């Protein structure tokens, strides 16, 4: 019999016999007394994946031992990429359409985790900041309604992933409303800030709300890198039910590595901009940026930088990052949101748009199936997603131990693990 080890950071001294069984080594197939073969999927906690996009959250969750059983998204282009990436699975359903029209009867009733990467357009600095009242970010409330309708079948653990702008949206009122909505469903909430830059050379800070029906003991940590000062007000609000799980410190933010992920492309490739367009690019740089770029151009060897087009005082200009790290990838609807690659060194300067493969690599999904994806379809899909290794780290260190009971002090009343 073949076995696969699923590391969920089990701590046998603090788990029941049942949870120890869940943390055991899982056989890839199990033969019951009647000779029937049972899939390993039976032993893997099931997940509902709301606002699934192209499935990067799924990749991170399943690398930690979860199994996504149901997914939903509104956009057909994202569904097409999702289905191209994942093999056809009779135990998985993708529901295409407006979440407002999703019926609770469509959802599996035995899921352990519900993951929601709800739209961030109305919360991000690049959006209109309408908050949860906005047409797109307001879909969060349909997610809450489905959890409500699940009743006793709702998952023990929920996660809401969004931009860090949620913490300040409407003076913190939107985050408070989200926490209170989860509280009313029986979830205590932990709020974490985690940047993909801790795993990848891309600056991509995100907020994660982790809700637990059976939360771990509160562990205050005034110097937490996961709960910086600008989040501490959440835990000071005694009207909210919150907890702080004891978690390891994530890796330090990367300061380099972009160049290693850039596609090897001949200088004669037609995707490099022509002389006229490159000259216009240089001309749009501020004097300070132009001086820095030209210094790099004169150095020996090849360096890569990323650039965004922005509007300053009504004029479109380019801004080049000074470091070997990518700016935050964004949804590519409109030229200003697309990111360019600048190749510098050996007295050369060349510019082109970043490719889908480079987007995939910067999201921790370098092996993603891009065979049938159009360029803008891929750029939008990755720019609107969550980085795979950030999800995997959270799943391995928090979500799987939480689902399996490893983080809960056994025998302690739930209220003792809650603030307020």
DSSP H or E stretch at residue 22: helix 17-22
Provide φ and ψ at 129, rounded to 5°: 60, 40
Length of the chain: 420
Residue among 299, 346, 297, 353 at smallest CA distance from 329: 353
What are the DSSP E strand ranges found in 33-167? Answer: 37-39, 46-50, 67-73, 93-96, 113-116, 157-163
Whole-number Å distance between alpha carbons of 195 and 178:
21
Q: Exactly one of 54, 57, 69, 120 is catalytic; which is it?
A: 120
Whole-number Å distance between alpha carbons of 373 and 355:
12
Whole-number Å distance between alpha carbons of 45 and 291:
54
Indicate if 120 belongs to the active site: yes
Alpha helices (H) in 109-256, listed in sequence order = 140-150, 173-184, 232-236
Q: How far is CA 64 from the centre of its chain?
A: 14
The DSSP code sequence of 249-269 is: PPPPPPS--HHHHS----TT-
- 52 and 380 Cβ atoms separated by less than 8 Å: no
What are the residue numbers of the active site? 120
């Amino acid at each position: 019999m073949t076995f696969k080890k699923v590391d969920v950071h089990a701590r046998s001294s603090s788990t029941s016999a049942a949870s120890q069984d869940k943390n055991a080594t899982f056989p890839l197939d199990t033969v019951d007394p009647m000779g029937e073969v049972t899939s390993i999927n039976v032993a893997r906690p099931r997940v509902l994946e709301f606002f699934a996009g192209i499935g990067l959250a799924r990749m991170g969750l399943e690398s930690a031992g979860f199994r996504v059983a149901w997914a939903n998204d509104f956009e057909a282009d994202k569904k097409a990429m999702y289905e191209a990436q994942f093999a056809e699975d009779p135990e998985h359903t993708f529901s295409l359409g407006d979440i407002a029209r999703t019926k609770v009867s469509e959802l599996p009733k035995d899921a352990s985790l519900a993951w929601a990467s709800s739209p961030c357009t109305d919360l991000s600095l690049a959006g209109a900041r309408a908050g949860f009242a906005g047409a797109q970010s307001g879909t969060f409330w349909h997610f809450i309604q489905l959890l409500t309708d699940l009743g006793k079948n709702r998952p023990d653990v929920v996660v809401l992933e969004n931009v860090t702008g949620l913490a300040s949206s409407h003076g913190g009122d939107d985050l408070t409303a989200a926490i209170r909505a989860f509280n009313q469903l029986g979830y205590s909430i932990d709020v974490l800030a985690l940047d993909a830059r801790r795993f990848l050379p891309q600056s991509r800070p995100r907020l994660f709300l982790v809700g637990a029906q059976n939360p771990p003991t509160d562990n205050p940590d005034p110097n937490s890198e996961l709960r910086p000062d600008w989040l501490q007000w959440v835990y000071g609000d005694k009207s909210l039910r919150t907890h702080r799980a004891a978690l390891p410190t994530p890796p330090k933010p990367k300061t380099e590595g972009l160049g290693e992920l850039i596609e090897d492309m001949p200088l004669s490739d037609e995707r490099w901009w022509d002389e006229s367009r490159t000259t216009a690019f240089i001309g749009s740089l501020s004097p300070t940026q132009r001086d820095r770029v030209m210094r790099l151009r004169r150095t020996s060897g090849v360096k890569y930088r990323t650039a965004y087009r922005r509007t300053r005082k009504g004029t479109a200009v380019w801004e080049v990052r000074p470091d070997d790290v990518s700016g935050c990838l964004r949804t590519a609807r409109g030229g200003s949101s697309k990111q360019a690659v600048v190749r510098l060194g050996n007295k050369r300067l060349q510019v082109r748009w970043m490719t889908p493969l480079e987007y995939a690599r910067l999201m921790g999904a370098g092996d993603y199936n891009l065979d049938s994806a159009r360029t803008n379809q891929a750029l939008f899909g990755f720019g609107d997603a969550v980085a795979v290794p950030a999800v995997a780290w959270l799943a391995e260190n928090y979500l799987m131990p939480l689902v399996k009971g490893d983080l809960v002090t056994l025998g302690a009343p739930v209220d003792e693990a809650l603030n307020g």
